Structure 1
């Protein structure tokens, strides 16, 4: 019995020592990282940084955190920011954001309001700290301007993970639900209120191939390049109108793209109605565009759906036989 008690005491002492050493390491390393950021191209300030949670957690709280990027004239500020990790699983971290944050872009101040906003990340428990997963979720996010205009959504989910059985291919996913545009923006794109006030959903699902794996403590100091993008799903649903796309593109050494996308638009004439209502397309050109659409439609047997292939060759885009100009550079 005495030996058992002694063993328990020794184990508790060792674990307690591990926790206090871990807390000290977290506070010092995190403080050093924040100082390094502030000493570089960015400005970063905060009031306090404390870690608690004994015995099973490392809970770190930073108060009045502010990040500034002078080059782009953007800044982000939060009255409180928290990082949580289990003491026996420190390579998995959860970040919790306050319900109100401030974002300044070129002198214009925006307020981000959420019912709940949190992110999580996981790295491999090895020397290089290879990236595994990252997720950010927002419940009822609203971005409000100083004048009171507001972009609101029911929810946002963004995620990234290392694709199983690969070392430098990553899955990217984004979904926003029940999107309500600011009133002035909605009047601009739908002046006659032809569409519902709520955009049902926006979804983006893709794979990206990188030139090297993402490692937080890796030896590679060269910038990681983009080797290929595969869009498994892009989908936008607004009322009875929807737009979807799938395809693959690959940039060359200079960033010029090559590849193709299959694009499908259901009830696409409603999009044409919006373009005419806003003046983007003159009414007298409506029949011409309808005729061109009929010529490039790959699914003429589906009356309410227009399907066409967007090809990109040496950075030049074409929708069917119709040239569209240069595609964006990716490098």
Structure 2
């Protein structure tokens, strides 16, 4: 009995030592990161760093955050951020964000409000810590800008995953699945009002509701190098993109997309993505309200869309293809300009 008791006390002492050493390493790592960021000319401020959770977790809380890049004119301010990890599984961490934070951009400040905004990061238990999955989810999200706009969303989940058992991920190395599922997306009320105020001859009055019912999709991304602890040195870049699924529903307006793009011999994006837009006659009003098309050009664009839709079996469905070839891209018959470069130039 004494031996068993001694063994239990010894194990408890060892485990306690592991926790206290680990908690100090976490605290020192955070403090060093803030010091290094400040030494590089960034704004990296905090008011407190604490680690709790003994004996089974490392619960890190950083309070009074203010992070900014003065050169880029961007920054983030939050009252706190919490990061949780089990002591026996430090490669899987969960972060919880505050109900409100501020994102500073060069021309505006965006206040982000959320309910249950959290992120999960999971690496594979290997020396290189290859990415397994990052999941960002929230029960409700709003963003209000000093520029005068406000948008929101209900239950939403975004993720990037390297899990090999995901269907359709393909056999190419360094391929990741980027997914988004958002419900009850609320565009800015002023924008929706502008859309519904546009009148275009020979088209029905716009009737878009206040809420976008659904926005979801999955995209396969193939990179030049894996996302692991060496990514900062190797700087992975995108070499191939495949739209596996995309659906959008806003009242009677709906859209789907599918296709793929990859780098050509010159490093420019090449390929095509095919869209099908149901009840396309709501689109010209959207383009005018967004400032992408002048009101006087809207009837001409509407007639062009009508002619293209008339070539399909269902005149309410407009098939359009984004084509990228020889360094240029177009959307159906509309030129969009130079294609983006996917492979960085050498030399």
TM-score by length of 2: 0.86
Query: Which residue, 158, 173, 189 being the options, matches 2:179?
Result: 173
CA contact (8 A) 1:241 1:270 kept: yes
Which moved further from structure 2: 226-235 or 30-39? 30-39
Rounded to whole Å, the distance in 2 between the matches of 1:10 and 1:201 is 56
Residue 191 of structure 1 corresponds to 197
Structure 2: gaps of 5 or more residues: 166-170, 199-205
Match of 1:247 among 242, 259, 262: 259
Corresponding residue of 2:225: 212
1:178-231 Cα shifts (integer Å, max 9, x gaps): 111222222333325521111112223111111111112x38723212111111
How far is 1:310 from its partner? 2.8
Question: 1:269/1:23 Cα in 2 relative to 1: closer, same or farther (>3 Å)?
Answer: same
Partner of 1:97: 97
User: How far 1:306 sits from its partner (Å)?
Assistant: 2.1
Whether the 8 Å CA contact 1:276–1:283 is kept in 2: the answer is: no
Q: Is the 8 A contact 2:94 2:119 kept in 1?
A: yes
In the alignment, is the contact (CA less than 8 A) between 1:97 and 1:118 conserved in 2?
Answer: yes
Question: Are residues 1:228 and 2:240 paired?
Answer: yes
- Contact in 1 for aligned 2:91/2:124 (Cα 8 Å): yes
1:304 aligns with 2:320: no
SS of residue paired to 1:197 = coil
Say if 1:48 and 1:7 are closer, same or farther in 2 by CA, change over 3 A: same
Mapped partners of 2:150, 2:194: distance in 1: 15
3-state DSSP of counterpart to 2:155: strand
Q: 1:274 to 1:74 in 2, by over 3 A?
A: closer
Distance 1:188 1:124 in 2: 48
Distance 1:80 1:257 in 2: 41
Which is worse superposed, 74-83 or 36-45?
36-45
Q: 1:172 to 1:57 in 2, by over 3 A?
A: same
> Does structure 2 conserve the Cα–Cα contact (< 8 Å) formed by 1:102 and 1:111?
yes
Structure-2 change in CA distance of 1:220 and 1:178 (3 Å)? closer
Stretches of structure 1 that go unaligned for 5 or more consecutive residues are none
Question: Aligned residue pairs: how many?
Answer: 326
Aligned to 2:139: 139
Report which stretch shifted further, 185-194 or 123-132: 185-194
* Deviation at residue 102 of structure 1 after TM alignment: 0.8
Question: Secondary structure of 1:129's partner?
Answer: coil
Distance 1:253 1:79, change over 3 A: farther
Matching of residues 1-331 of structure 1 within 5 Å:
1-146=1-146, 149-164=149-164, 167-191=173-197, 194-216=207-229, 218=230, 221-252=233-264, 255-272=267-284, 274-275=286-287, 279=295, 281-283=297-299, 286-294=302-310, 297=311, 300-319=312-331, 323-330=335-342, 331=344
CA distance in 2 between counterparts of 1:200 and 1:15 reads 50
Q: Whole-Å Cα distance in 2 between the matches of residues 4 and 39 of structure 1?
A: 52
Task: Tell me the C-alpha RMSD between the 2 structures.
Answer: 2.4
- Whole-angstrom CA distance in 2 between matches of 1:135 and 1:280: 44
Contact 2:308 2:318 in 1 (8 A): no
Stretches of 4+ moved more than 6 A in 1? none
On the 8 A contact 2:85/2:94 being kept in 1, the answer is yes
C-alpha distance 125-273 of structure 1, shift in aligned 2 (>3 A)? closer
**Partners of 1:163 and 1:169 within 8 A in 2:** no
